[in-house]
Structure 1
């Protein structure tokens, strides 16, 4: 074992949490260093491979993509900084940590300009390497999440509307969002659970033109004792378990929007600290001495009546007025039933793609039945219902609880109760029965096909054979 390995191993800490989905490629011309890093990192990652040169590394990369490359700068042949295939590749970009025992300031600057995610001097401790890896993976995860969120948001806003629907209530919400989005003012979004408060917050960010990220945080889902650290960050050693410094969500949202969901769940002590940050536009990490300026637009949301919470002493009055520059109230789904058809078809299209299953055809009377239901869980309940329909391949409308029906959902139209003459051939009985069911459903082929237990295509084929045409 080399002296470098002895130093690394003797000072190594406990391996951090396993991350099995990550692949790592180590490039170093020293066999001892390669073997040590492979052995140490194989405990954390599903795939760890090594190479002794850029040329060998490129051969390995042709058959497998690696999330992280750990590369020595001084190598036989091309140096790590000259590894243009990995550095400049845009479609399969990997994070790169450069290592070197011969570094000076100029080399470090050159490595960072080349696209290095981090830079480590040899000899190093394993703890330094794992810390650098964690930083890379955290940034990569955040970048992936932001990409997915932007794609989802862009798909929603491609229709040109901030909120999906044509009802007067949602049109008013859409107009307010577009008007206030470009301003830096705080917005308080109120509404029942499941009405789309986070979607409205994303719309405010989307139309704000802010270059930073949209960072959501559920104040009720984070333990009170760590909420301050999550929001403002902490320094190394600030509390037990703080083995390294960490930025808070305010820092991640710098230049963008911080969405404080369920703000009514925030403890009173934390409310006072949040108020100070909003007033000074600066955060002080837990354990830190200096404040760091931040440019963050605050959007808060709650399903509680904060005015009543203030009267009961459960929410600070000064923070309430600081957040309540503008209140955006989202209507419950029962008050915008005319939007159900649009929402159902939108959910059906997206969910069928995600699940890899064919969409369920929704007949006019199906949508009418949905419009008569009160949807106590609002849009979230509607989306879950559509997903259940796709999974079952049918519409379990009879599963709606009676207590939540606004009006009684009508059952399928009754068919005439009559038989057919005994001397009719079977084909003639089938034809008259199908036409009778089609008439009962007022020509709706999709609904009639479901009632008959056949596909829409089969029904169309039979009608064509009988030279029968019926309206949709």
Structure 2
């Protein structure tokens, strides 16, 4: 295995050895790998340091003055496995080595050792930590189910694409502005994809996280820093190391967090909640808002200095009504995508359907268009028919539904609207509907079966 030579700006190591010479020797060596290196001579000192900040790797001598490294249960019994542990010993005892590995050690090294041997063990730990972060972000990516393809060929959207290509290779902060549903996250993903940055893309909805938990979510926390913080935890800025963090709905961020974010942007370092230590970061920040931040600044709801710091590069996404020529292309894209997700053949919309879609104002923009296409496919109603309301129908509607609809059609329409309101989160929709997620999935499967049958008959 080839050893990496670059310093990982988001990783930290704690060396625990009662020999000053060994602590000094390893500390100098580890500065080539880690941005933050600490040392301790006893388990008590080490545990105090651990309570003040997070460490990715622990290099621990087994024989220490106060107790054996193998008896350091606080670190070994950490169920979240916040640290990888490398044990060292000058006593050739195979039973001790086996006991150390069983206790949860990542590696076991005999003293005296060659530095290359230690560095190889450290590299394995770093790779394991990075893989864990990548897996975490991959799960987030899959749960979001987002692509990074911007659909449309209108002059308005082509201009946005050109700006993205121009600013993506830089490391500058970018502020994306646009109405809800215009595709701000899509633009942020495209910025990341074209940036050349090797780390992950980490999306964060600032308005969806409780204000009191936002600092912990972004910067992490140490054990005992607040009620319920039983173990230390890395923040999303850590997981975004080498990549891009996307702060959506930045206008919803509380004032105290705005101050903290400004400090992060200026110092390129984060401080976990409850810690006195700062951790250097290599993360590009992209922010987005559907509010006019200038007005928020004037009203005193957003820090003026943070606004200027965020607004280094600005991308304004036009609403869908300003680019009606893209509606047909988007409709075809969503029809194929949704049909594939539902496991049915793509629907072919008529010219009348497409004209109806082009003429709509789309106050909810692209998100509204996508939800509309999904409802039409699920209900088996083309857009033109879905929106067609005769004078008779308008006079007999009951709570928004025509009286000639079947109970199943009303149920299907209501359920899809609730799911839409939760932006596709069926678990949240099921709670609002008073049913289990399993029941909701069963209904979708039943509707899908009927939709497929109807299409085959047609």
Q: TM-score range by the shorter chain?
A: 0.5 to 0.7
Equivalence for 2:109: 106
What secondary structure is seen at the aligned counterpart in 2 of 1:300? strand
Q: Cα distance 1:241–1:109, how it changes in 2: closer, same or farther (>3 A)?
A: farther
Aligned partner of 2:298 in structure 1 is 311
1:447 corresponds in structure 2 to none
Of the three residues 343, 349, 352, the one matched with 1:365 is 352
Contact 1:98–1:111, Cα closer than 8 Å, also in 2: no
Question: 1:98 and 1:112, CA in 2 relative to 1: closer, same or farther beyond 3 A?
Answer: farther
Mapping for residues 336-375 of structure 1, pairs under 5 Å: 336-375=323-362
- Output the CA distance in 1 between the equivalents of 2:174 and 2:278: 25
TM superposition shift of 1:236: 1.1
Q: CA deviation at 1:138?
A: 7.7
CA contact (8 A) 2:376 2:386 kept: no
Cα shift at 1:455: 8.0
* Correspondence list, 1:412-423, <5 A: none
TM-score normalized by the length of structure 1:
0.56
1:399 offset after TM fit, Å?
3.9
Equivalent of 1:378 in 358, 362, 365: 365
Q: TM-score, normalised by structure 2?
A: 0.57
Question: What is the aligned-residue RMSD (CA, Å)?
Answer: 3.5
Q: Partners of 2:202 and 2:273 in 1: how far apart?
A: 20
- Structure with bigger gyration radius: 1
Total equivalences in the alignment: 291
Q: What is the aligned partner in structure 2 of residue 61 from structure 1?
A: none
Q: What is the alpha-carbon distance in structure 1 between the residues aligned to residue 259 and residue 104 of structure 2? A: 49
Secondary structure of 2:109's partner? helix
Q: 1:217 to 1:109 in 2, by over 3 A?
A: same
Q: Which 5+ residue runs of structure 1 have no aligned equivalent?
A: 1-43, 45-96, 120-131, 158-162, 403-453, 459-472
Match for 1:205 among 173, 177, 192? 192
- How do 1:117-136 residues align onto structure 2 when only pairs under 5 Å count? none
For structure 2, the residue ranges without an aligned partner over 5 or more in a row are 1-78, 80-99, 111-116, 390-453
Q: Secondary structure at the match of 1:217?
A: strand
2:261 matches 1:266: no
Q: Distance in 2 between matches of 1:287 and 1:145?
A: 26
Aligned to 1:333: 320
* Pairing 1:237–2:224 present: yes
Whether the 8 Å CA contact 2:106–2:125 is kept in 1: the answer is no
| Residues 102 and 457 of structure 1: CA distance in aligned 2, closer, same or farther (over 3 Å) | closer
2:140 aligned to 126, 141, 145, which one? 145
2:376 aligned to 378, 381, 389, which one? 389
